[in-house]
Amino acid sequence: MDMSGNTILVTGGASGIGRRLAEVFHARGNAVIVASRRRSALDAVVAANPGMIAMEFDVADPASIAAFSAEILANHPDLNVVLHNAGIMRREALAAGDWLATAEAIVATNLLGPIRLTEALLPHLLAKPKAAILTVTSGLAFVPSAWFPTYSATKAGLHSWTQALRRQLRETSVEVVEIAPPYVQTELTGAHQAVDPRAMPLEDYIAETLSLLSATPTPAEVIVERCRPLRDAEKTGAFEQIFEAIAAS
């Protein structure tokens, strides 16, 4: 994909990986729209990045997606790139019970959200001479965490869905790219993650990701070296070892 001159929507753009990607895209001369359900966090992003646009919506709510899609297409007809970054990650103790509501919220946000939003925006994107859909999955799509089972399952599902979408759209103007982060210093699971020395520093992750994304041709999957062992675990025979190491961490 071109790295400048786009109009880019970043869901979950108020914090973490989404915010930093939005800021880098903005600095490279793209028009960037950050979307989240947290108005105060969106306002902080826009205040720090003059010219960026903020839109509030709930990716887990079909009615919110429908209203949001109509608004963004009416107000930003140049939209040609969608980055599906919004997601939640919550620990689940399955034997303890009382986790179904948590699991359903994760599925609605992480899997149904990108699917519903793509359905709403795809006809518009297909009409553009150059467009792209980027999905943010996870290294846990390839080796799950025993303690985050539904999160891992949604990311595996999004990985498979992205592969199918790419195949169906390969003769169109819409590129489909998967970005699969490793464990990164963000607040996805809480403030402790942002300072966990086991996690990849956010700025290092963003720099390596942008370097890979800038390649020609654009790679189908953007996998930083820290995530490569998870992506290749089945192929290398390291799946069980890595699975147990994640479970023990």
pLDDT tens, residue by residue, 84-117: 999 999 999 999 999 999 999 999 999 999 999 9
Q: Looking at residues 68-88, what average pLDDT do you find?
A: 98
Tokens of 75: 């107000």
DSSP state of 94: G
DSSP state of 219: P
Q: Is the pLDDT of residue 62 over 90?
A: yes
For the entire predicted model, the pTM comes to 0.96
247: alpha, beta or left? (left if phi > 0; alpha if psi -120 to 50): alpha
The H or E element that residue 72 is part of is: helix 62-75
Token pair 């949604």 is found at 154
Pairing of strands 174-179, 221-222: parallel
Token pair 């959200």 is found at 113
Q: Looking at residues 3-29, what average pLDDT do you find?
A: 97
In the prediction, which pLDDT does 233 show? 98
Is residue 183 part of the annotated active site? The answer reads no
What are the residue boundaries of the structural domains of the chain, listed by start? 7-248
DSSP state of 145: -
- What's the pLDDT band for 35 if we cut at 50, 70, 90? very high
93: alpha, beta or left? (left if phi > 0; alpha if psi -120 to 50): beta
Tokens of 207: 């720099």
Contacts of 238 (CB under 8 A, 6+ apart): 229, 232
Where do the DSSP E strands lie in 163-212? 174-179
Distance separating alpha carbons of residues 7 and 213, to the nearest angstrom: 16
Residue pLDDT, tens place only, 213-249: 999 999 999 999 999 999 999 999 999 999 999 999 8
- Of 25, 151, 183, 205, the catalytic one is 151
Q: Looking at residues 44-58, what average pLDDT do you find?
A: 96
The CATH architecture one would assign to domain 7-248 is: 3-Layer(aba) Sandwich (3.40)
In the prediction, which pLDDT does 1 show? 86
Residue pLDDT, tens place only, 142-194: 999 999 999 999 999 999 999 999 999 999 999 999 999 999 999 999 999 99
pLDDT greater at residue 39 or residue 239: 239
